[in-house]
Amino acid sequence: MLIRVVRPLAAATLAMSMTLAPALAADVPVGPVQWEPVTKTEKVEVFVDPASIHAAGTGLEVTVKQNYAQPQPAAKKGKSYLSTGNVYRIDCAQRRLGLKDLRAYDGLDLQGKLVQKATAKDKNMQWLDAPERTVFGEIVDFACRPPGG
């Protein structure tokens, strides 16, 4: 029998992890997330939790943390964020991804106040192309690489 557990992002973010529990659930032991750097541009630095990568439907699902160099405007007027925790659906064969869950925070590294959230069901998933050598492309390459690759 497989038991689903929630990994806390860090001891200081236990309360936040309770909010994110459905989005960041994975079939791995409890413990801190070991974010692995994927790519960095002048605007954003992207990390993936390798333990979060798992089969979902006909593709994969992955949890991604993005830290922004400058505050990004949130949907709510007057709010901005510096980091997001995203769950993406990945279609390796077609090199595309869809945003399943987004949580935006006013601090770096998923810290601070939650200022925006969004979720999408599979039937409403909006797929985005992930060309090579782009931020989305690097996420797809990381998630779709062969085990040990």
Which ranges in the chain belong to alpha helices (H)? Answer: 14-24, 135-144
**pLDDT of 20:** 39
Alpha-carbon distance of 110 to 15, in angstroms, equals 12
| Per-residue pLDDT at 32 exceeds 90 | no
The tens digit of pLDDT for each residue in 95-116 reads 999 999 999 999 999 999 999 9
Res 149: pLDDT: 62
**Average pLDDT value for residue range 106-128:** 94
Domains (range + CATH), the chain: 31-144 (2.40.128.710)
Phi-psi label, residue 148: left if phi above 0, alpha if psi -120 to 50, beta otherwise: left
Of 47, 39, 43, the residue nearest 69 (C-alpha): 43
Percent of the chain at pLDDT above 90? 70
Please give the residue that has the higher pLDDT: either 65 or 26. Answer: 65
User: Cβ(86)–Cβ(70) under 8 Å?
Assistant: no
pLDDT confidence tier of residue 31, bands split at 50, 70 and 90: low
Yes or no: say if 44 and 82 are a contact pair by the CB < 8 Å rule: no
